[in-house]
Structure 1
Amino acid sequence: MKRRAVLSLVLAAVASACSKFQSYRGPEVTRIHVLKGQRQMYLMHHDQVLKAYGIGLGFAPVGHKQFRGDGKTPEGAYLIDRRNPNSEFHLSIGISYPNAEDRAFAASQGKSAGGDIFIHGKPRKYRNAPQDWTAGCIAVSDEEVEEIYAMVRNGTPIYIHP
């Protein structure tokens, strides 16, 4: 009986250590800044940089996303609005693109603005992809997205700059 209890505790500890879900007890991330041209993302606590990450972008990285399938990463002010713990891309954190202005512009051109823009990891099948490989998302390593997932809350503003 003791052996089973010890084994259960060991297995629980191993499973916990291997979990993609981390905890974070540091300063609140009050906003995120993405500098597309520099391929950098900064998690901020007011004016203090908490963490910086090198990033990958959409396969057509220059310019603001306007239409579904254009391969561009949006530019502008958005919010973190959802999270997907079962993402094909390890973990993913949703960005509120498209906003009303994005949808209106695309509609005026007779097109869809697209959607499903996330900060996400880089699964094994994309390990050899070029730096800018997504359909418009912001990509970091799986280890980095675990950290970001723990640090960033829904409702956090994200500013994506050219």
Structure 2
Amino acid sequence: MRDEFDFRCVYCLQRETWGQVTFEFELDHFEPQSLSPQSKLDYQNLVDSCRRCNAVKRDQSVADPFLLLRAPRVSTLPDGSLRAGDSNAQRLIRQLDWNSPRLKSWRVMWLRIVALAKERDSDLFRQLVDFPDNLPDLSRLRPPRNARSEGLLQCRFALRERGELPVEY
């Protein structure tokens, strides 16, 4: 799951490497269990989420963040607020309270940290924008019904082993 979501929260895009060392991320049921109990064990209904977004989302049904949160639909303004180009993305930003003063401040801080690291500390910059060191080796897993075994060749661990993993994401 972590690999599929690029080691980020599917909602706010916070990177694992920018959060706490442990227990910052958890699985979320995209369609809440209370609204879709038949999807409780459906892999397609699970997403990687930071604890904050999962707690704010709770039992709300939300639009698909994969479709709505990619540039150029959403941009970050200098004050840290998110600006959406369409009403569905705006609604998602409001639902998950992404323009709260605390999150805007957090966003500005991280944008500044990354910019300073890029300018002054290339090792720190790579640490901030690179994939985590502990990429899972998915080829060692043997799920009972792996319907997507082709993903093993495209997992980040396999890409790193072949020298095909991008330096930053």
Normalized per residue, which structure has more strand? 1
Same fold by TM (over 0.5)? Answer: no
Scaled to the shorter chain, the TM-score interval is: under 0.3
Bigger Cα Rg: 1
**TM-score, normalised via structure 2 length:** 0.21
- Structure possessing the higher relative contact order (Cα contacts under 8 Å, 6 or more residues apart): 1
Normalized per residue, which structure has more helix? 2
**TM-score, normalised via structure 1 length:** 0.21
